[in-house]
Structure 1
Amino acid sequence: MTKPPPGAPLPAAIADWFAGRGWRVRDHQAAMFAADRAGDHALLVASTGAGKTLAGFLPTLADAAEGPIEGLHTLYISPLKALAVDIQRNLKAPIDEIGLPLTVETRTGDTPSDRKARQRVRPPNILLTTPESLSLMLSHEDSFTLFAGLKRVVIDEVHAFATQKRGDLLALSLARLQRIAPEMRRAALSATVADADGYRAWIAPYGDIDSVALVLGEKGADPDIDILLPLGRVPWGGHSGRYAAPQVMELIADNRTTLVFCNTRSLAELIFQDLWKANDQGLPIGIHHGSLAVEARRKVEAAMARGELRALVATASLDLGVDWGDIDCVVQMGAPKGSSRLLQRIGRANHRLDEPSKAILVPGNRFEYLEAQAALDAVEADERDPDIFRPGGLDVLAQNIMAMACAAPFSEADLLEEVQAALPYSALTPAAFGRIVDFIRDGGYALKSYDRFKRLTQEGTDDDGSRRWRVSHPRFVTQHRMNAGIIVDAATLDVRFKNGRKLGTVEEYFAASLSPGDTFFFSGLSLEVERIKDTDLIVRATSRPARIPTYVGARMPLSTNLAARVREFLFDRSQWRRFPDDVQEWLSVQSDRSVLPEPGQLLVETFPREGRHYMVAYSFEGWNAHQSLGMLITKRMEKRGLKPLGFVSNDYALACYGLEPVTDPAALFSKDILRDEFTDWVQQSALLKRAFREVSVIGGLVERQHPGRRKTGKQVTFSTDLIYDVLRKYEPDHVLLEAAWADARARLTDVGRLGDLLDRAADTMLHVHLDRVSPLAVPVLVLIGRETVATGTADDALIAEAEALVAEAMGD
């Protein structure tokens, strides 16, 4: 463990509290206290249940024990609203039991406006908030007074947002806080960090890694993780693990409290219904995800805290840091897609360092069984998924500049220096910064004739020639505060009963598919649509069968670490004895009929079937990269007269099919596809428009909210698409088009992994032509046609097709 210089001992009141509970001050807690007393920033990397949160707040508690604290002393930054509420509840015990005169409050998007206004005038000593709410607070002119006495910022679960746009926003806000309160110390906490020095640089002002102490926590008990074996055979297709609902219900009955994690909101609703059908004992079960109304989420969180639920079905809305000590089992439905995510979710069980966390993985198909075993091995080897730091988003920077302008007029040179203190923007040049300021000034060359884009006005210049700016009109301040934020969800409608009670939200595109009398599952209920009124979807409860809402969004990609381990499993026969008999049989028949690729090979199989010709590439680069590659390859097939009919993909393979055979797959996978087809495809597809829509909202070019009304998704889309077309024609180098292109490449198409695949394709491709479908191809081919089948329904023709595929691949 890297320890900072020793500091003063803990105040007697706090030391006595530890002793009274029969606890010892752990080494990493003492080290975090010493770092603060030495005036250092700190990064704590420690297992779940190691007392990270208490370590982060220990200096604050000590300050309160040594003397009265006035005003805002400590900010706690959380990636989740639920986590902020949970921390408030858990801080109450030490504060009350030690008798410290500390006030603690939360401030998130769920906080009432009157409380937010009061907090700016009479703040608590400890404020628990999110990056978005902090940025909004900094946009007020009184922020300089509010944060002047700030001593400490605690950033929890720093891995959850540091490498993303929310992290860009937080890094910029930390730079402003450091300017207001130069002596402020930063402390970041995480259980799943792979690149500790990368995070130390992110935490430190100006990337000064030496100013950040690295504190490593004591090792806890090894987790107890099992893979659930189905009562029948491991499924060929699917990714949800729904087949195991009766077995999961047995686990729930056998344990005190079980947390059931799902990778998507749709799957959470589906699994809840499946479990309820298997819940013969009528055990109390809840559901929690980000689309539910805040009242519903708070209700279920409180019920869990009181120990009233036997199980809770949840998404990523609860996989970070929430501490409910009575949870004794975690179930992961489907593969976790990464070892870091799995560790984070496992840690919700027991939440005690010295006791093993119990978890059960429920793989959805045969490839996912290999992935589940790979995840277990990675956890045992203490292997984390890689942390990828990248330059900050230009749209986020635009939002931050406008927020700072709302607080006070600014000098361009001074604000640039402040922004460069944040690691994601440390390499930002004056010219690039000036482009962003010019965009905020008038929208850019193509839009400057419209007054609604003229948000900044130049006041003059400083002695050094730097431009000075102020907000052009107070309405732009209001506009910013109503629309600021980094999370750009799809447009939604509120789901309400006739009495006005809100259940949550569904996305507008899903609501558009509904008519009066249609039914869907939501918030654990079967609901019938009565009517759509403005932005409300009016419903009533029913017992009729229903479908599940679907949500837009990229899937969680299979991590590169787990992909490498799965590839090793395929090739290393000595590992096969660890798998169920039917999985071993699957691999063995594949080896006999075709080949199993070596870890570095790209296996491509081609074969005919029922008048079509198939090409399946086993590249293991994740669903997002495979979807992009599928679009590109089918376009190239079309140019070459191969008459493609379509493609399907999963995390492990891509299958393209058409009317003519592919005899030279290497030509389809050549690297120039990223120079030619990729650029044309992204620019002509909806991807770039979708990315532009998001950066326009984040960058403040298009508003989602107006005083007294909210734009519909169609209105936002119409506005952004119109501006997009104008800029593409008249100002193709516009800063937001540049930001959209970066997003489309990196996030929507996963071009990094796509490029890695194409880089190795020429040298590692092994082409095997077969006379029929191979066993390895079945899991991806069973997906053909399923995109058109409503979630939660069964299609007899598809089931029959899957059975025929299996018989053909595995039969003699």
Structure 2
Amino acid sequence: MSEPGVPPEITAWFKGRGWRVRRHQAEMLGTSDAGKHAMLVADTGAGKTLAGFLPTLAAFCPSRIGDGAPPAGLHTLYISPLKALAHDVQRNLITPVEEMGLDLRIETRSGDTSSDKKKRQRSKPPNILLTTPESLSLLLSYPESFELFAGLKRVVVDEIHAFATQKRGDLLALSLSRLQAIAPDMQRAALSATVADPESFAAWIAPWGDMDAVDLVRGEQGAEPEVEILLPVEERVPWGGHAATWAIPQLYERIRKNNTTLVFTNTRFLAEYIFQNLWDANDDNLPIGIHHGSLSKEARRKVEDAMARGELRALVCTASLDLGVDWGDIDLVVQMGAPKGSSRLLQRIGRANHRLDSPSRALLVPGNRFEFLEATAAMDAVDEGQRDGEDFRPGGLDVLAQHVMACACAAPFEERALLNEVRSCWPYAQVDDATWIRVLEFVATGGYSLKAYDKFKRITRDKDGTWRLTHPDQAYRHRMNAGIIIDSEMLEVRFRNGRSLGRVEERFGAGLRPGDTFQFSGVNVEVEQIKDMELIVRASKKSAMIPSYGGLRLPLTTHLAERVRGLLTNRAGWSRFPDDVREWLEVQDWRSQMPGPDNLLVESFPHAKRHYTVYYTFTGWNANQSLGMLITARMEAMGLMPGGFVANDYSLAVWGLKPVEDPRPLLSPDILTDEFIDWVQDSHLLRRAFREVAVIGGLVERQHPGKRKSGRQVTFSTDLIYDVLRKYEPDHVLIEAAWADARARMTDIGRLGDLLDTAEARLEHVVLDRVSPLAVPVMVMIGRESVPQGGADDELLLEAETLAGAAMQVEGLPEGLE
């Protein structure tokens, strides 16, 4: 029996597979038939992507077409945050299209797509185009975009939570507004499994913020995931470290017992490191692969295809495979180290089984004791169905400038019409006239301080008020340099025969010399030659280091931080913890006290002829780094002779030659006024933020015909411009954009402000005669960065044992805690 409104071809295809059309899938089709936009929130494995495409498939079903011809031209755009996801969706969508005999063509378009294919897609588009926000923005910069998108019926935004609150979301929101202007009847559909506030995302996807135009569709409930925390069999949960390499023997046994295991890490360095450790333990020569964003397209595609065919027993990866990839034969998902958020963990867990009626199995592997608490908190959140996520914020002005330039490349525009179009999307709904004029003037001249230089003149205004390009070449330059993801500058790693392995960061490659070896994509390679922006290498059997990568760390979410605090103060709940973790907390509770949900615990103690103060902030690494800088500056001004600081997600340790008698003056809220501004302006943070917004805004070009600027050249150019603007035009639109980034991403000033408010009202200062148990995990980090490679782990273990021995001495403990 067919679902009401669902074409019989679709119902029959589902039935042939032993499936049924689920309620939310039928609702998505009904919403489309009613002419409304949709926001679908459904568990992983619930068939979200197919639900998003169901109206498109229905439009090509013979039962709906009748005697007419199938829709011609581009019918549906699918927007994915990841290239891997777009290719996976294409692979999975082709099956129902072919088996239903539908006359439609599906193609992908991303940075990996050849220039010839991209050109052909503009003149002869497929019916369904799977792409990314950046590629869509570039498509909209072509004059033929008006004809290309004129008949567009539908846009499906998958995994909307992955970019809606970020700059990629800003770019996509602007592109959707432009598409809606070109194709007024276009329907929007957004899909996600892990949003905490679906209504906010529905408002984001709605044109003009019109919530009444969007139906919020909720999916059927799936099977509860099965989550387990891996613990050492004979040893203790480590005091410090985050690689969790202690678990490799146990992890390898799990891989041997399962068909396919997906091993997630939080960084590219850890992916390479864990992969190598697994290979060292791989006595059975099991096929184990690696996947991260710095590997070559060929290497990534080879691994993805092997996974799709079920040929790998394990795959070590990063966030490059976080989202939506449908490999139904994965038995187990492993999270190495802390998950940092319950939504991120749910997303990763959902890669296992990927079926709504089968529980996903996940294994959390904590690197240290705080990460054990974080893993426990995340597991509890998953059990309770609690999600977390980033807050929405106003759209970036650098992104708006890039969009203005893309529109000018497509055709001359009238500024008021384009402003109305810009204001129709949520991130830019509040852009006022003055800000709009500043953005236009920046794109036109570079700003007041730079208007004398012709190189910054990109658009000009005619007497009738129409804006157009100053020269046709500007369009070519824009398309070569447009984009939102600003990674560190990279060097290509190639064998002498030309085969590419991928890319390493320029700052890592700059330190290499011929004969040096490093490990990449699971291969030890030796540098033969450094040529332009390439490292020419050969395979080597010598021991090798692993490339390090920069970039901001995954932040510990506020939701998860509060849960960890709750675990610390719920003494009755400690009974479910391993003996060593429970003892750690019990000795801390006896010797000092616990950080509470509503206070800020600060401990002071002497160690190794220095005076230490540890602040238990739970605000994440970025905020703690900022706080460390500010506190040490105040200590210097107060004559306390600071020596330095180290931070993790949970705490900050600061030391000096004189003791901190009262930490309150170091934490007064006014530290975020003059001192914060002075520190950010004098530090590398604002310069780094300016480099990014200058590239995004089009002020500095990385790519020229036949040549790409090195990272040093880009830095030199942006630093020169930054110094000029700070001196002569401090209110420049890009300085404002850089400040917004520095506050939000690099310093996490929102959480920092909340922390200082808590410190002013509820600070608990405990003076101790020695290091406390809770301080050991952050204390073992001191000096770690300066330890030579190869000795870091041994040095860390030695320091941890020394500190732990002092912290956990039990003389005088109450009876029952000994």
Q: Where on the TM-score scale, by shorter chain, does this alignment land: which range?
A: over 0.9
Aligned twin of 1:9: 5
8 Å CA contact retained: 2:784, 2:792: no
Matched, 1:178 2:180: yes
Cα distance, 1:595 vs structure 2 = 1.0
Structure 2 counterpart of 1:420, which letter? Answer: R
Matched, 1:199 2:201: yes
- Give unmatched runs, 5+ long, in structure 1: 1-5, 462-466
Taking the aligned partners of 2:419 and 2:164, their CA distance within structure 1 comes to 21
Aligned twin of 2:27: 31
TM-score by length of 2: 0.97
Superposition map of 1:151-550 within 5 A: 151-231=153-233, 232-461=235-464, 467-550=465-548
Cα distance, 1:610 vs structure 2 = 1.6
Cα distance, 1:8 vs structure 2 = 6.2
Aligned twin of 2:815: none
* Cα distance per residue 1:568-600 (max 9 Å; x no partner): 111111110111000000001111111112221
Taking the aligned partners of 1:697 and 1:361, their CA distance within structure 2 comes to 38
8 Å CA contact retained: 1:394, 1:739: yes
Taking the aligned partners of 1:427 and 1:745, their CA distance within structure 2 comes to 20
Structure 2 counterpart of 1:377, which letter? Answer: D
2:113 aligned to 108, 111, 114, which one? 111
Structure 1 counterpart of 2:292, which letter? Answer: H
8 Å CA contact retained: 1:8, 1:37: no
Taking the aligned partners of 1:790 and 1:239, their CA distance within structure 2 comes to 18
Taking the aligned partners of 1:792 and 1:242, their CA distance within structure 2 comes to 14
Q: CA separation of 1:105/1:251 partners in 2, compared to 1, >3 Å: closer, same or farther?
A: same
* Cα distance per residue 1:292-345 (max 9 Å; x no partner): 000000000000001110000000000100000111100000010000000000
- Give the percent of matched residue pairs that are identical in Structure 1 and Structure 2: 68
Structure 2 counterpart of 1:729, which letter? Answer: K
Aligned twin of 2:612: 614
Aligned twin of 2:661: 663
Taking the aligned partners of 2:690 and 2:390, their CA distance within structure 1 comes to 26
Matched, 1:62 2:64: no
Aligned twin of 1:464: none
Taking the aligned partners of 1:584 and 1:329, their CA distance within structure 2 comes to 28
Taking the aligned partners of 1:617 and 1:778, their CA distance within structure 2 comes to 13
Cα distance, 1:525 vs structure 2 = 0.9
Cα distance, 1:15 vs structure 2 = 1.7
Q: Relative to structure 2, which stretch is displaced further, 789-798 or 417-426?
A: 789-798
Cα distance, 1:795 vs structure 2 = 5.8
Aligned twin of 1:140: 142
Cα distance, 1:801 vs structure 2 = 2.3
Q: Relative to structure 2, which stretch is displaced further, 72-81 or 548-557?
A: 548-557
8 Å CA contact retained: 1:328, 1:349: yes
- 1:605 is paired with a residue of what secondary structure? strand
Structure 2 counterpart of 1:602, which letter? Answer: L
- Give unmatched runs, 5+ long, in structure 2: 811-818
Q: CA separation of 1:213/1:7 partners in 2, compared to 1, >3 Å: closer, same or farther?
A: farther
- 2:327 is paired with a residue of what secondary structure? coil
Q: CA separation of 1:768/1:649 partners in 2, compared to 1, >3 Å: closer, same or farther?
A: same
8 Å CA contact retained: 1:41, 1:185: yes
Matched, 1:554 2:552: yes
8 Å CA contact retained: 1:454, 1:472: yes
8 Å CA contact retained: 1:789, 1:795: no
Paired residues, what number?
802
Aligned twin of 2:49: 53
1:785 aligned to 783, 786, 794, which one? 783
1:101 aligned to 103, 112, 126, which one? 103
Aligned twin of 1:766: 764
Cα distance, 1:796 vs structure 2 = 4.5
8 Å CA contact retained: 2:364, 2:375: yes
* Cα distance per residue 1:488-528 (max 9 Å; x no partner): 11111001111111100000001112122211111111111
Taking the aligned partners of 2:536 and 2:470, their CA distance within structure 1 comes to 41
Taking the aligned partners of 1:333 and 1:796, their CA distance within structure 2 comes to 20
8 Å CA contact retained: 1:649, 1:655: yes
8 Å CA contact retained: 2:343, 2:389: no
Taking the aligned partners of 1:792 and 1:438, their CA distance within structure 2 comes to 53
Structure 2 counterpart of 1:450, which letter? Answer: Y
TM-score by length of 1: 0.98
Q: CA separation of 1:572/1:667 partners in 2, compared to 1, >3 Å: closer, same or farther?
A: same
Cα distance, 1:542 vs structure 2 = 1.1
Aligned twin of 1:18: 14
Cα distance, 1:640 vs structure 2 = 0.6
* Cα distance per residue 1:205-251 (max 9 Å; x no partner): 11001110000000100000000011211000011211111111111
Taking the aligned partners of 1:317 and 1:801, their CA distance within structure 2 comes to 35
- 2:430 is paired with a residue of what secondary structure? coil
Cα distance, 1:676 vs structure 2 = 2.2
Cα distance, 1:548 vs structure 2 = 1.2
Structure 2 counterpart of 1:62, which letter? Answer: A
Matched, 1:43 2:34: no
Cα distance, 1:750 vs structure 2 = 0.6
8 Å CA contact retained: 2:46, 2:355: yes
- 1:446 is paired with a residue of what secondary structure? helix
8 Å CA contact retained: 1:548, 1:792: no
Matched, 1:587 2:585: yes
1:600 aligned to 588, 595, 598, which one? 598
Aligned twin of 2:573: 575
8 Å CA contact retained: 1:442, 1:448: yes
Taking the aligned partners of 2:122 and 2:391, their CA distance within structure 1 comes to 36
* Cα distance per residue 1:688-707 (max 9 Å; x no partner): 00000000000000001001
Structure 2 counterpart of 1:407, which letter? Answer: A
Q: How much is the aligned-residue C-alpha RMSD, in angstroms?
A: 1.1
Q: CA separation of 1:695/1:807 partners in 2, compared to 1, >3 Å: closer, same or farther?
A: same
Taking the aligned partners of 2:796 and 2:74, their CA distance within structure 1 comes to 61
